[in-house]
């Protein structure tokens, strides 16, 4: 490339102003070329009718999906420039939402940053979990990009040296392993990350580095690797002089080579070093590097702020050259370090002491250049140019200018990035595959990574316990299971004490055996195991027992990928299916396997190879191509089994594997991955699958549906029916109760369809933008795994299942409630959002969902028992409830005070009744829980001077764990009756105390009557003037009995009755004495 022309402006992108359509603020992004495609954003309205009534306007639609759609017809793509807009479905069902249930064991982080002006504050960018910020040295982290960023994949972060309020974030991680997530532009904040704007570079893929001018925060440079899977002209080095409002592509070598790193000379910021890289991932291999003679891949230098560039060669490898990473120390600006991927023995750390003009190989020490495409990061101490760190599988430190290295310890291996405080180099933040960690002592100790819910999970499976648990493989860690709600035995280690590894390894899956969740079928990179949670042992039952590492998959008897399918038959828990290129079946938990299919893949021989070229071999099974990725058996008909391969074939058998038919849609683009297959729970011939071609550079969404065993297919994602044309699809599930209600997981979030895929709407709610790897519909909930934000659960899908009826006339509607399990508080949670790393658990109680039109002024909720007696009532105008934090001898705890109030906003409202009756004297708390049975929920809705009454039956069920412990309904009835008796006694005592206090105001001071009244007072009320262990008197003794008799589900103890009898007898004596004294006061 001619260096005299390399600095010419070849492309410029400009962010366009926001426009408002129908009150919705949108920003039009014409992209780098200014092109747009007609109809790229269109939501159809089907048979939409608007009818006006006296008090409100009601939108009616023949199809429920049409009721939720926006009437927008736009011809240009829309980019997320400010906070994310709420979709019509999200607005209508606004009281729904997701709960993050963990784990908070951190996931991969490849970008970190800080600023010396705020030494307690650091930023980290997860590869799927977005940007997080700590202001206390990593003790706590909070997400700051949620609601702003279109993707959770972060490639680079820099705080402007001259203004710490300015933060630039480039999306798209530069560690391009097979699960890499594409970038979607550069984001800018000028308020320390509180709010963000996207400022261009949307199509530039992975933004591996961003550097900000040390004196002018509006001048910045970005290294854009580009599309990591395909050729693209939108790559290279970009420069902005107006804080990202416009960009210039100042260095471009070809459509195959992008920029991976940048460094500015701290003493002369016009001097810039760039690492260019030919790096591309394909489903079957990873390509890294090219010949240096092409003068593209390698080290480039500019001395005029990026206007022109020169390719540097002296002392650098003359043959193949791959990924490079650069670092300059402010202590010695003439010194530049470069990690360079090339062939042995020339691969390693290079150093220039003359501003990058000449180079010398300083170290090729083993370990500092493992897997260059994934690691390759060097950081020089800004206060000591001889002090340098290298991030790789290990973390290495040199104090002699890179000549020798010693390995240092970090909380997790697989290291990626380091930022060193230039005013105190002992303060650092470092990142790896386990998250980010902070040190205050130069790396001797580090902060925890167990406060970062950024886990990358490949799938989700669930068991049939109560509450159920979620299982997956967590990338770079182990398999893991976490509870959907607190288990009965609360962990004294907090929520982290509930994390359990269940065999296998990071890849998963981990599939619990139906009916016996102590047994888990787990995978580790193609190796099948049977894990027993009682013994803690995993029996190894690999198919073929061949080690897949380091081999051309064509030479393996069984081609397994790292992530392989394990499917337990929905008809027989002893039957398990497993997939290589064949479907394998076991009925004895893996001791023996039967092959029940031929090769069900496309198997193109030219795709079978030793992965990693032209420099570095990398054969771990990630790139094994022509393997099965999905196996599912119909829940309707045994023997109907579907398979999907990662090279684009869908096959089905209807006779348990005796014969198979290739039913791949003929017009479907080839060689993608059949990511998820979902056989319908409603018809044996009906199935869906999500097809994923991202690793081929194609982000088009593909969801297909068949209703005739695959003879014909319908594409449900046209790019203009709700799921955007660049939201690649990973998961699809049909609701198990309502046919045609579909949930789709994409590279950038969740979508829902109410009409079997004709239309889709965003279904994100409070879940951050992150890839959805799997979806399950289980026990009435929606269970989701993500590649960067752990597990999420949406409780109680009944409003969605009844949406047709609810939306029929636009008036108030009370949904038929789900059966409600009568649960007591246990473990942690149920109080709403806590710290960002804490799981959010369900609130115990019966969920009452009701839909309201606009204009409602008040709502009253009443609960009646089976006899028609009023049990409880709540009004929207009530004082409400709050949560208090209290502390006694042990850790702080939360408790509720007050009474909940039903909401009255337009759309879905959800109210939770905690199963209790009023406490003493009508108080909101302290009453016993009702006995399981049939109740009636009544909702009274007032609007425009009129009221409407809606009723539904509600079943309150016994906690199955309590029933298994031998507790009966009769026991709970006895407990409830005792609770009412104690409540009555408390009310009687309070009334007596009130009469006593009234008498005391009328009695003569110093009289004998006053003395006797004080004696009664001392017997009834505890003396609070005694600060150390005062004796509880009768009123407090009743409280003590009340709380203890209602603490657990049980038949009351005999001593409870005896104690109540004693206390009531004492109270009666005090009442008689008080009555006598009152007569004396009155008569006197």
pLDDT tens track for 719-732 = 999 999 999 999 99
Classify 1015 as helix, strand or coil.
helix
Give me the mean pLDDT over the 19-40 stretch.
Answer: 33
Lookup: tokens for 476: 């770079």
Mean residue pLDDT of the chain comes to 91
Locate tokens 């089976």: which residue? 866
299 sits in which H/E element: strand 298-302
Least confident of 64-68, 199-203, 253-257, 601-605: 64-68
Classify 513 as helix, strand or coil.
strand
The answer to whether the CB of 134 falls within 8 A of the CB of 438 is yes
For 86, residues 6+ apart whose C-beta sits below 8 A from its C-beta are: 94
Comparison of pLDDT for 25 and 171, the residue scoring more: 171
The predicted pLDDT at position 71 comes to 27
pLDDT digits (tens, 9 = 90+) for 1028-1062: 999 999 999 999 999 999 999 999 999 999 999 99
The answer to whether the CB of 103 falls within 8 A of the CB of 474 is yes
pLDDT band at 833 (very low <50, low <70, confident <90, very high): low
Lookup: tokens for 729: 């699809």
What angle, rounded to 10 degrees, do the helices at 1034-1045 and 969-1002 form? 160
364 φ, ψ (degrees, to nearest 5): -120, 35
Report the relative pairing of strands 613-614 and 285-288 from DSSP bridges. parallel
What count of Cα atoms within 13 Å lies in the side-chain half-sphere of residue 569?
19
Q: How far apart are CA 340 and CA 782, in angstroms?
A: 47
* In the predicted structure, residue 19 carries a pLDDT above the cut 90: no
Start and end residues for every CATH 2.130.10.10 domain found in the chain: 106-439
Q: How far apart are CA 804 and CA 64, in angstroms?
A: 6
State the DSSP code for 807.
T
* In the predicted structure, residue 945 carries a pLDDT above the cut 90: no
pLDDT digits (tens, 9 = 90+) for 751-777: 999 999 999 999 999 999 999 999 999
Lookup: tokens for 288: 């890294």
User: In Å, how far from its chain's centre is CA 1069?
Assistant: 61
CATH code at 106-439: 2.130.10.10
What count of Cα atoms within 13 Å lies in the side-chain half-sphere of residue 573?
12
Q: How far apart are CA 1048 and CA 967, in angstroms?
A: 11
Q: Is the dihedral of CA 1001, 1002, 1005, 1011 positive or negative?
A: negative
189 sits in which H/E element: strand 186-189
Give me the mean pLDDT over the 261-273 stretch.
Answer: 97
Give me the mean pLDDT over the 365-380 stretch.
Answer: 96
Q: Following CA atoms 391, 397, 399, 403 in sequence, which dihedral angle do they give, to the nearest 10 degrees?
A: -70
The answer to whether the CB of 466 falls within 8 A of the CB of 157 is no
Phi-psi region of 1023 (alpha: psi -120 to 50; beta: other; left: phi over 0): beta
pLDDT band at 831 (very low <50, low <70, confident <90, very high): low
Start and end residues for every CATH 2.60.40 domain found in the chain: 850-958
Give 751: exposed, middle or buried? Use CB within 10 Å, 0-12, 13-18, 19+.
buried
The predicted pLDDT at position 280 comes to 96
The predicted pLDDT at position 710 comes to 98
Q: How far apart are CA 147 and CA 156, in angstroms?
A: 19
What angle, rounded to 10 degrees, do the helices at 969-1002 and 1054-1083 form? 20
The predicted pLDDT at position 57 comes to 31
The predicted pLDDT at position 415 comes to 97
Give me the mean pLDDT over the 828-851 stretch.
Answer: 84
pLDDT band at 1084 (very low <50, low <70, confident <90, very high): low
Output the CA angle 425-428-434, nearest 5 degrees.
155
pLDDT band at 827 (very low <50, low <70, confident <90, very high): very low
Give me the mean pLDDT over the 947-951 stretch.
Answer: 96
The predicted pLDDT at position 318 comes to 96
pLDDT digits (tens, 9 = 90+) for 151-170: 999 999 999 999 999 999 99
Q: How far apart are CA 242 and CA 245, in angstroms?
A: 6
Give the CATH fold of the 850-958 domain.
Immunoglobulin-like (2.60.40)
The predicted pLDDT at position 829 comes to 52
Give me the mean pLDDT over the 885-909 stretch.
Answer: 83
Output the CA angle 265-182-276, nearest 5 degrees.
35
pLDDT band at 834 (very low <50, low <70, confident <90, very high): confident
The predicted pLDDT at position 60 comes to 29
Q: Following CA atoms 1012, 1018, 1019, 1020 in sequence, which dihedral angle do they give, to the nearest 10 degrees?
A: 110
Least confident of 105-109, 516-520, 924-928: 924-928
* In the predicted structure, residue 78 carries a pLDDT above the cut 90: no
* In the predicted structure, residue 15 carries a pLDDT above the cut 70: no
If one counts every other C-beta atom within 10 angstroms of the C-beta of residue 38, the result is: 9
Q: Give which of 134, 130, 137, 139 is closest to 111, Cα–Cα.
A: 130
3-state helix/strand/coil string of 223-271 = EEEECCCCCCCCCEEEEECCCCCEEEEEECCECCEEEEEEEEECCEEEE
Least confident of 10-24, 115-129, 280-294, 564-578: 10-24
Q: Following CA atoms 660, 662, 664, 670 in sequence, which dihedral angle do they give, to the nearest 10 degrees?
A: 120
Q: How far apart are CA 531 and CA 522, in angstroms?
A: 7
Comparison of pLDDT for 55 and 100, the residue scoring more: 100
Q: How far apart are CA 45 and CA 98, in angstroms?
A: 28
Classify 789 as helix, strand or coil.
coil
Cis peptide before 614 (omega within 30 of 0): yes
* In the predicted structure, residue 4 carries a pLDDT above the cut 80: no
pLDDT band at 894 (very low <50, low <70, confident <90, very high): confident
* In the predicted structure, residue 197 carries a pLDDT above the cut 70: yes
Give me the mean pLDDT over the 723-747 stretch.
Answer: 98
The predicted pLDDT at position 314 comes to 98
pLDDT band at 832 (very low <50, low <70, confident <90, very high): low
If one counts every other C-beta atom within 10 angstroms of the C-beta of residue 474, the result is: 26
Q: How far apart are CA 432 and CA 375, in angstroms?
A: 10
State the DSSP code for 496.
G
Lookup: tokens for 398: 């040199």
* In the predicted structure, residue 461 carries a pLDDT above the cut 80: yes
The answer to whether the CB of 705 falls within 8 A of the CB of 656 is no
If one counts every other C-beta atom within 10 angstroms of the C-beta of residue 483, the result is: 23
* Rg of the chain taking only CA atoms, in angstroms: 33
* In the predicted structure, residue 891 carries a pLDDT above the cut 80: no
Comparison of pLDDT for 508 and 58, the residue scoring more: 508
The predicted pLDDT at position 1004 comes to 87
In this structure, the chain runs to a length of 1084
The answer to whether the CB of 692 falls within 8 A of the CB of 729 is yes
* Highest mean pLDDT: which range of 53-57, 78-82, 224-228: 224-228
Locate tokens 């940007």: which residue? 131
């Amino acid at each position: 490339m001619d260096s005299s022309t390399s600095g010419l402006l070849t492309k410029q992108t400009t962010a366009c102003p926001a426009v408002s359509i129908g009150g919705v603020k949108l920003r039009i992004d014409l992209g780098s070329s200014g092109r747009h495609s007609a109809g790229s954003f269109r939501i159809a309205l089907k048979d939409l009718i608007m009818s006006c009534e006296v008090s409100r306007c009601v939108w009616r639609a023949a199809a429920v999906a049409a009721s939720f759609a926006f009437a927008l017809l736009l011809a240009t793509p829309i980019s997320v420039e400010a906070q994310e807009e709420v979709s019509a479905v999200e607005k209508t069902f606004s009281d729904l939402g997701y709960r993050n249930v963990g784990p908070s064991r951190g996931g991969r982080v490849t970008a970190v940053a800080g600023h010396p002006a705020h030494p307690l504050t650091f930023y980290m960018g997860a590869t799927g979990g977005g940007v997080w910020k700590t202001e206390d040295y990593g003790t706590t982290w909070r997400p700051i990009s949620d609601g702003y960023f279109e993707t959770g994949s972060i490639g680079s972060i820099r705080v402007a040296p001259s203004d710490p309020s300015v933060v630039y974030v480039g999306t798209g991680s530069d560690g391009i392993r097979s699960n890499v997530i594409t970038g979607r532009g550069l984001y800018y904040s000028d308020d320390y990350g509180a709010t963000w704007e996207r400022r261009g570079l949307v199509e530039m893929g992975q933004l591996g580095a961003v550097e900000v001018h040390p004196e002018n925060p509006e001048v910045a440079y970005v290294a854009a690797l580009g599309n990591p899977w395909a050729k693209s002209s939108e790559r290279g080095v970009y420069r902005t002089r107006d804080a990202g409002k416009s960009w210039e592509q100042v260095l471009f070598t070809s459509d195959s080579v992008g920029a991976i790193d940048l460094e500015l000379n701290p003493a002369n910021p016009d001097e810039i070093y760039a690492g260019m890289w030919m790096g591309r991932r394909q489903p079957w291999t990873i390509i890294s590097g090219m010949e240096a003679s092409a003068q593209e891949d390698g080290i480039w230098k500019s001395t005029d702020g990026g206007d022109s560039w020169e390719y540097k060669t002296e002392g650098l490898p003359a043959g193949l050259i791959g990924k490079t990473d650069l670092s300059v120390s402010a202590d010695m600006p003439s010194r530049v370090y470069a990690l360079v991927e090339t062939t042995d023995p020339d691969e390693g750390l290079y150093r220039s002491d003359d501003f990058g003009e000449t180079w010398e190989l300083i170290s090729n020490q083993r370990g500092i250049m493992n897997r260059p495409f994934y690691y390759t990061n060097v950081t020089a101490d800004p206060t000591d140019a001889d002090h340098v760190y290298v991030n790789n599988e290990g973390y290495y430190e040199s104090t002699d200018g890179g000549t020798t290295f010693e390995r240092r310890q970090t909380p997790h291996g697989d290291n990626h990035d380091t930022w060193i405080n230039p005013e105190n180099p002992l303060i650092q933040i470092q990142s790896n595959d386990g998250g980010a960690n902070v040190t205050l002592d130069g790396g001797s100790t580090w902060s925890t990574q167990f406060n970062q819910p950024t886990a990358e999970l490949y799938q989700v499976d669930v068991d049939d316990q109560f509450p159920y648990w979620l299982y997956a493989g967590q990338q770079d860690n182990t398999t893991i299971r976490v509870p959907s709600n607190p288990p009965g035995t609360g962990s004294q280690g907090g929520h982290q004490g509930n994390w359990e590894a269940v065999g296998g390894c990071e890849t998963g899956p981990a599939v619990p055996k139906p009916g016996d969740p102590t047994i888990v079928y787990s995978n580790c990179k193609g190796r099948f195991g049977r894990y027993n949670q009682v013994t803690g042992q995993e029996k190894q039952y690999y198919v073929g027992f061949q080690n897949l590492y380091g081999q051309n998959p064509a030479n393996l008897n069984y081609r397994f990928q790292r992530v392989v399918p394990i499917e337990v038959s929905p008809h027989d828990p002893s039957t398990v299916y497993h997939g290589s290129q064949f479907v394998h079946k076991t009925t004895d938990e893996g001791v023996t396997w039967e092959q029940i299919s031929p090769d069900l893949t496309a198997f193109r021989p030219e795709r079978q190879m030793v992965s990693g070229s032209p420099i570095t071999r990398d054969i771990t099974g990630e790139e094994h191509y022509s393997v099965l990725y999905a196996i599912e058996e119909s829940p309707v008909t045994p023997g109907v089994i579907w398979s999907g391969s990662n090279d684009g074939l869908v096959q089905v058998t209807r006779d348990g594997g005796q014969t198979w038919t290739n039913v791949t849609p003929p017009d479907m683009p080839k060689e993608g991955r059949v990511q998820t297959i979902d056989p319908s729970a409603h018809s044996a011939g009906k199935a869906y699958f999500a097809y994923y071609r991202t690793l081929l550079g194609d982000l088009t969404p593909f969801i297909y549906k068949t209703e005739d065993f695959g003879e014909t297919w319908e594409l449900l994602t046209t790019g203009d029916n709700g799921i955007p044309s660049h939201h690649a699809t990973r998961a699809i599930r049909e609701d198990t109760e309502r046919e045609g209600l579909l949930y789709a997981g994409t590279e950038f979030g969740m979508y829902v369809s109410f009409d079997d895929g004709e239309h889709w709407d965003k279904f994100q709610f409070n879940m951050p933008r992150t890839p959805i790897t799997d979806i399950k519909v289980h026990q009435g909930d929606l269970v989701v795994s993500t590649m960067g934000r752990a597990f999420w659960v949406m409780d109680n899908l009944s409003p969605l299942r009844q949406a047709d009826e609810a939306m029929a006339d636009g008036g108030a509607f009370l949904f038929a409630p789900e059966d409600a399990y009568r649960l007591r508080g246990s473990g942690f949670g149920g109080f709403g959002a806590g710290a960002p790393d804490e799981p959010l658990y369900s609130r115990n109680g019966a969920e009452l969902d009701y839909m309201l039109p606009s204009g409602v002024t008040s709502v009253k909720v009443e609960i009646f028992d089976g006899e028609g007696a009023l049990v409880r009532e709540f009004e929207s105008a009530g004082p409400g409830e709050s949560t208090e934090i209290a502390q006694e001898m042990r850790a702080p705890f939360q408790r509720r005070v007050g009474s909940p109030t039903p909401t009255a906003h337009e759309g879905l409202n959800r109210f939770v009744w905690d199963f209790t009756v009023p406490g003493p004297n009508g108080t909101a708390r302290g009453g016993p829980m009702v006995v399981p049975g049939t109740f009636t929920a009544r909702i009274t809705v007032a609007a425009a001077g009129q009221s409407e009454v809606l009723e539904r039956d509600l079943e309150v069920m016994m906690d199955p764990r309590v029933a298994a412990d031998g507790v009966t309904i009769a026991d709970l009835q006895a407990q409830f009756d005792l609770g009412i008796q104690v409540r009555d006694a408390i009310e009687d005592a309070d009334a007596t105390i009130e009469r006593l206090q009234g008498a005391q105001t009328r009695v003569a001071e110093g009289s004998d009557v006053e003395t006797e009244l004080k004696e009664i007072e001392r017997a009834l009320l505890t003396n609070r003037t005694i600060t150390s262990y005062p004796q509880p008197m009768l009123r407090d003794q009743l409280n003590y009995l009340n709380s203890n008799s209602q603490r657990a589900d049980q038949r009351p103890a005999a001593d409870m009755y005896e104690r109540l009898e004693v206390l009531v007898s004492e109270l009666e004596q005090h009442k008689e004495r008080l009555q006598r004294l009152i007569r004396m006061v009155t008569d006197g």
